A and B are shown apart, each in its own frame.
Chain A
């Protein structure tokens, strides 16, 4: 979950993409000028997924049509997005994590090369939720990405030769790697999945040139493990010495999860990286009394040293598997008449949060989907106002009517987009509620550490998902396109005021950024769980690329969308009986144009 440097184009990227080059450029959503490339997972360090390209716009998007397709040969869920660097398109597949480099100058986009790493098949049983990969990062002639079995690799973007390969995670301990790395200066920042295996969650930095691990900061535990020093770690709401250990009963922090399986953003002016942590483990909250900091949280660290600067917990004492690994989008917003350096996050727990990204101060928290576990979020204390009847635990038995479901009001795998033209965010949402029965779980190294029996139900209205536009300054929905199925695609918005996303039943849609009106749609062969990108090809034309390939949680929940294994035949999901009527597995790269 990238390309070939062409000197002229990269020169313009050097100013926009290199931290320390022009700091102003990287905080602005677009950069000083649109270079037409897509070199990072989320387009830019601010994670806006906004392209300044305008050829495709609301007036002509009705004539979008597919121009090229490529089967990746892999059937697992195709999350993440391609990279477009210079004249090359880079694609990383789910396990076995093949890296393809397509030559965009030639008819049919033939491959320049393909890189096939040696990735253990045992990873397939340690990854909780399908063998996904969320994408690669390009910088300085290198493509950097993660392998499911616990490695980070750097590949020469021109030749496809492996430059280095570093073991970062231990599968024997339940760690796999699905997240998209971010490279800041000479640091490759990575994290591990494993919230369902009771890992001791962490973030690591590797040296871009050598691959050597430079620092490791845990997401919980004693201050020393967290790289938190009292003089520099200033969480606004809850702090104190060793809060990352004291907020867990006994030594439950050692197996408390808090994985890093999503996205990382970066503010060059503040020199802070931002990332979310996943659920606390196990799923029975009574096994770990306390707030369980910093699971289900956003953490701000110095990329150079890993030093922790601030943290904010969205879901204290996570009762519902509410990972906070979704994107942290960095934008400047006008709130109450003042310009604020904001961080905006759509959480699995159903609230959209706007924070001051310099301090972690909570500014806005409003539900963007049906929420029953909390009544509101108190801005003064930063804490949710919990609904007692929705608290879970073994002693509580089956707790019914919890919204959102543990799939989240939006999946962290489905990142939002932000347009500085409309000042709106665009995101997929899920409309699912659940019954949650916590169960005892025993920790046995290398096996799942979960403990829950759950069932999903459609939320109010009956549509299982939607795609919405959101005003993060006021905490209000601007428009909503209802979807029949949970919406699991990332978003893309362009300066042509067109928003792109895909649906679980396999439609790729272009909609008007102001109204949500559908401008065009096309059935792409498999459900979409990936993220669209826009880029300018060597011919000067604008293109939009997207993966098809249903999977991720849907490989588990909707097992009847799978046809690859005659020795594994499943019933349809109770809450979504007919998805397999509309889609089946299959990894395909699509490119659309006018």
Chain B
């Protein structure tokens, strides 16, 4: 494991345009729109009753693919103690691996956003209150930038 440089959350958020953690926490609740929280969650292989998907807002990552934001997100990943549960490099600890290409609640930008912003059962805290949408999008951008394994892993102890 390599250790990412560590920044205080306030530094990272300032870099993202928030003046302080408190300022971000006080930012207005997200309105429906391009980078706001969705009224509904949808993820891959989500089964819709009757084959009819519910209507809902569409979330787009305003920083998708932005390497600088991914870097800031990596710093947030340590500064917000994400690594305490998901390990450095997000390879999994008491919380699941986020670097294996497998997703409990979907791996698309909007799904990852929902998981971080609102939290999930089984212990994922809601970070939307402390990070605001910008901070969460930075984390999403970082997580989506992680290299994924190219194949389904088979562990073998037999000599070839």
Contact = CB atoms under 8 A, between A and B. Distances in A.
Interface in B102-160: 102-104, 121-125, 130, 153, 155, 157
B74 to A, nearest CB: 14
Given A444-B130, A569-B153, A572-B155, A122 B121 contact: yes
Q: Is the interface of A mostly helix, strand, loop or mixed?
A: loop
Interface in A116-130: 121-130
B155 A560 contact: yes
Interface in A286-343: none
A570 B122 contact: no
B39 to A, nearest CB: 24
A442 B8 contact: yes
Contacts of A570: 91-92, 97, 100
Given A124-B123, A455-B1, A449 B84 contact: yes
Given A439-B6, A569-B153, A453 B100 contact: no
Nearest to A397: B3
A364 B85 CA distance: 38
B81 A567 contact: no
Contact of A441 (B81, B94, B95, B157): B81
A400 to B, nearest CB: 14
B102 A569 contact: yes
B81 A581 contact: no
Nearest to B2: A453
A60 B91 CA distance: 48
A278 B92 CA distance: 24
Given A440-B6, A567-B96, A125 B102 contact: no
Given A455-B1, A572-B155, A559 B81 contact: no
Given A453-B1, A569-B153, 7 more contacts: A125-B125, A439-B78, A448-B81, A556-B94, A568-B104, A569-B102, A570-B91
A559 B1 CA distance: 15
Interface in A373-421: none
Those 9 A-B pairs whose CB atoms lie nearest each other, nearest first: A125-B123, A448-B84, A568-B96, A567-B102, A447-B81, A124-B123, A453-B3, A440-B6, A567-B104
Given A444-B9, A569-B97, A437 B3 contact: yes
B23 interface: no
Contact of B92 (A439, A440, A559): A559
Given A437-B3, A581-B157, A448 B85 contact: yes
Contacts of A455: 1
A242 interface: no
Interface string B81-93: 1011100100111
A572 B155 CA distance: 9
Interface of A: 121-130, 196, 437, 439-442, 444, 446-450, 453, 455, 555-556, 559-560, 565-572, 578, 580-581
30 contacts: A122-B123, A123-B123, A124-B122, A125-B94, A125-B124, A125-B125, A127-B94, A127-B123, A130-B94, A437-B3, A439-B3, A442-B81, A444-B130, A449-B81, A453-B1, A555-B94, A556-B93, A560-B155, A567-B96, A567-B104, A568-B92, A568-B96, A568-B100, A568-B102, A570-B91, A570-B97, A571-B153, A572-B155, A578-B157, A580-B155
Which among A127, A565, A569 has the greatest number of chain B C-beta atoms within 10 A?
A569
B79 interface: yes
Contacts of B125: 125, 446-447
Contacts of A126: 123
Which among B9, B85, B124 has the greatest number of chain A C-beta atoms within 10 A?
B85
A581 B153 CA distance: 15
Nearest to A125: B123
B155 to A, nearest CB: 6
Nearest to A129: B94
A437 B83 CA distance: 14
B95 A125 contact: yes
Given A125-B85, A447-B81, A559 B124 contact: no
Nearest to B102: A567
A566 B153 CA distance: 11
B64 interface: no
A101 B95 CA distance: 32
Nearest to B130: A444
B80 interface: yes
A572 B96 CA distance: 14
Contacts of B104: 565, 567-568
A450 B1 CA distance: 16
Given A444-B9, A448-B85, A449-B84, A567 B103 contact: yes
Contacts of B157: 578, 581
Contacts of A128: 94
A441 B85 CA distance: 13
A570 B79 CA distance: 24
A537 B123 CA distance: 41
A581 B102 CA distance: 23
Contacts of A580: 155
A559 B120 CA distance: 21
A523 to B, nearest CB: 17
Nearest to A447: B81
A580 B155 CA distance: 9
Contact of A442 (B9, B91, B94, B97): B9
Nearest to B96: A568
B91 A571 contact: yes
A559 B92 CA distance: 8
A281 to B, nearest CB: 11
Nearest to A398: B3
A423 B27 CA distance: 66
Nearest to B101: A569
B26 to A, nearest CB: 17
B81 A569 contact: no
B92 A566 contact: no
Contacts of B97: 559, 568-570
Interface string B9-41: 100000000000000000000000000000000
Nearest to A582: B157
Contacts of B123: 121-127
A129 B87 CA distance: 12
Contacts of A127: 94, 123
A433 to B, nearest CB: 17
A370 B58 CA distance: 58
